């Protein structure tokens, strides 16, 4: 359910950022170079100017396998004298969804052939005792800002997925705010998402109405025919963004060539020019049902025993918890896609389980259980009192 306010999302976002400045010692923009973080950057910069809190700290955690257009844009952002750009090019591990054999890209690892050279003024030493992308922000915050009260701001929106919508509207993070995430409560380190209720149309209206600079890869994606609400900027081998590999060669051939040298599986996936990880539309004739097909793929496609074990355990849990789910074929097809894309982190499955349709089904099942429990209690009491129970079929 949505509640509409007497102000635009633009005005509401500015008020939210102003509030963060009143509550925290420092406000830091987590910047990816994408459209959402572009708007977050410009709105925060506007408030920082109003409150005389310049320069604005901006953190770009470079994942090596980035669009060259993103790199060029971040360089341009760094030339703004009102911005203090922290460009991290430190060793970290990223999951490689393009291969079932090589699981990780060891970004900026010493002795390896990188996709591109490091920037002269970037931060190159990982002194944060962490090598995973998501956990790094907490560690960077702790090491660099210590006991200061810190609010990170980032461009995550509810519209992007049901999981994000639930995360940003359900539980309180800080005082009255739900649109955030706790990094370290004892240190008062948080991440907030002031654009959480924006639509992608609001994003592009703000960019063009204000004449803000943005990453030009979006222009190329538009020319290529990518739907506006499906355009995204991310590392190029992420399990939710590998569709970019289907047209990377046509837009940035040098990035394509360097990425193919860097990571196994990229060239194969890119040349398919289709959704290689999609589940077949019809069940292959040699299998009796989708579950048997799923188990066959798990045995023969997933080559790592530890990954097989993770998948098998997760599937067993789903089969048990969703035993009464009416559309088992849909569930098995999502599981099959997870196996094909080697998504043993279960990103796609978790997104599927948090869809509004699944929430409706769970609520209906809870209501049915409550009704059955009440009915059984009534029957037991009637029998104890010697009364013939009268029940109706549900």
DSSP per residue over 246-314, as a string?
GTHHHH-HHHHHHHHHHSTTHHHHHHH-S-TTPPPSS--TT-SSHHHHHHHHHHHT---HHHHHHHHHH
Torsion-angle region of residue 138: left (phi > 0), alpha (psi -120 to 50) or beta?
A: alpha
- CATH superfamily for 9-210 is HUPs (3.40.50.620)
Q: What is the pLDDT of residue 289?
A: 93
Domain spans, the chain: 9-210, 218-272, 290-354
pLDDT at 394 over 50: no
Q: What is the pLDDT of residue 351?
A: 81
How does residue 372 score in pLDDT terms, banded at 50, 70 and 90?
Answer: low
The pLDDT of 41-58, averaged and rounded, is 97
* Per-range mean pLDDT, top range of 58-62, 225-229, 351-355, 389-393: 58-62
Residue 366 or 320, more confident: 320
How does residue 149 score in pLDDT terms, banded at 50, 70 and 90?
Answer: very high
Residue 259 or 194, more confident: 194
**Considering the chain, what is the average pLDDT of its residues?**
87
Q: What is the pLDDT of residue 303?
A: 78
Kindly state the percentage of the chain with pLDDT values over 70.
88
pLDDT at 154 over 90: yes
Q: What is the pLDDT of residue 1?
A: 62
């Amino acid at each position: 359910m949505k509640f509409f306010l007497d102000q635009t999302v633009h005005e509401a976002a500015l008020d939210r950022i102003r509030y963060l400045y009143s509550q925290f010692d420092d406000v830091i923009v987590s910047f990816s170079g994408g459209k959402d973080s572009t708007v977050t950057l410009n709105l925060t910069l506007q408030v920082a100017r109003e409150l005389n809190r310049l320069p604005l700290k901006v953190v770009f955690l470079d994942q090596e396998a980035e669009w060259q257009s993103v790199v060029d844009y971040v360089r341009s952002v760094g030339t703004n004298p009102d911005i203090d750009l922290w460009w991290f090019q430190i060793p970290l591990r990223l999951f490689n969804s393009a291969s079932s054999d090589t699981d990780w890209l060891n970004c900026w690892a010493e002795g390896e052939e990188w996709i591109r050279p490091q920037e002269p003024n970037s931060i190159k030493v990982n002194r944060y005792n962490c090598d995973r992308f998501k956990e790094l922000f907490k560690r960077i915050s702790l090491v660099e800002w210590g006991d200061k009260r810190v609010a990170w701001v980032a461009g995550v929106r509810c519209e992007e997925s049901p999981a994000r919508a639930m995360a940003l509207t359900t539980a309180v993070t800080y005082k009255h705010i739900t649109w955030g995430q706790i990094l370290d409560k004892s240190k008062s380190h948080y991440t907030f998402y002031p654009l959480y209720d924006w639509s992608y149309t609001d994003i592009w209206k703000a960019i063009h109405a204000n004449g803000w600079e943005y990453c030009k890869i979006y222009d190329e994606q538009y020319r290529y025919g990518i739907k506006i609400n499906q355009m995204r900027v991310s590392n190029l081998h992420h399990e939710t963004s590998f569709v970019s590999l289907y047209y990377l060669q046509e837009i940035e051939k040098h990035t394509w060539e360097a990425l193919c040298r860097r990571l196994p599986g990229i060239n194969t996936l890119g040349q398919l020019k289709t959704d290689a990880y999609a589940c077949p539309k019809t069940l292959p004739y040699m299998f009796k049902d989708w579950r048997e097909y799923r188990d066959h793929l798990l045995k023969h496609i997933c080559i790592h025993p530890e990954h097989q074990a993770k998948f098998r355990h997760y599937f067993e849990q789903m089969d048990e918890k969703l035993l009464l789910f009416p559309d088992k074929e849909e569930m098995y097809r999502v599981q099959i896609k997870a196996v094909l894309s080697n998504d043993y982190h279960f990103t796609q499955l978790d997104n599927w389980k948090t869809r509004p349709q699944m929430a409706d089904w769970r609520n209906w099942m809870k209501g049915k259980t409550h009704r059955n429990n009440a009915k059984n209690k009534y029957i037991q009491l009637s029998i104890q009192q010697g009364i013939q129970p009268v029940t109706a079929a549900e």
